[in-house]
Amino acid sequence: MSSLRLWLTDPNPTSRRQARLGQLWLAWLRIRRNSLAMAGLVIVALLVLVAVFAPLLAPHDPLVQDLGRRLLPPGTPGNLLGTDDFGRDILSRIIYGSRITLYIIGLVAVTAPVLGLLIGTVAGYFGGWVDAVLMRLTDIFLAFPRLILALALVAVLGPGIENAVLAIALTAWPPYARIARAETLTVRNSDYIAAVRLQGAGAVRIIAGHIVPMCLSSVIIRVTLDMAGVILIAAGLGFLGLGVQPPMPEWGLMISSGRKFLFEQWWVATMPGLAIFIVSLGFNLLGDGLRDVLDPRSSQSGSAPK
Are the C-beta atoms of residues 7 and 269 closer than 8 Å to each other?
no
> What number is the average pLDDT over the span 37-60?
94
> What number is the average pLDDT over the span 243-255?
90
Q: Is the pLDDT of residue 304 over 60?
A: no
Looking at per-residue pLDDT, the higher value among 159 and 61 belongs to 61
> What number is the average pLDDT over the span 181-194?
87
> What phi and psi values does residue 114 have, to the nearest 5 degrees?
-65, -45
Q: Domains of the chain by range and CATH?
A: 24-54+83-294 (1.10.3720.10)
Looking at per-residue pLDDT, the higher value among 297 and 27 belongs to 27
User: Where in the chain does DSSP place strands (E)?
Assistant: none
Q: Is the pLDDT of residue 158 over 90?
A: no
Compute the C-alpha angle 115/278/109, nearest 5°. Answer: 10
Q: Is the pLDDT of residue 26 over 60?
A: yes
Q: Is the pLDDT of residue 5 over 90?
A: no
Looking at per-residue pLDDT, the higher value among 197 and 270 belongs to 270
Mean confidence (pLDDT) of the chain: 88
> What number is the average pLDDT over the span 243-249?
88
pLDDT for res 157: 86
Residue 288: band (very low, low, confident or very high) from pLDDT cuts 50, 70, 90: confident
pLDDT for res 297: 55
Summarised one tens digit per residue, pLDDT across range 207-220 is 888 898 888 888 88
pLDDT for res 306: 40
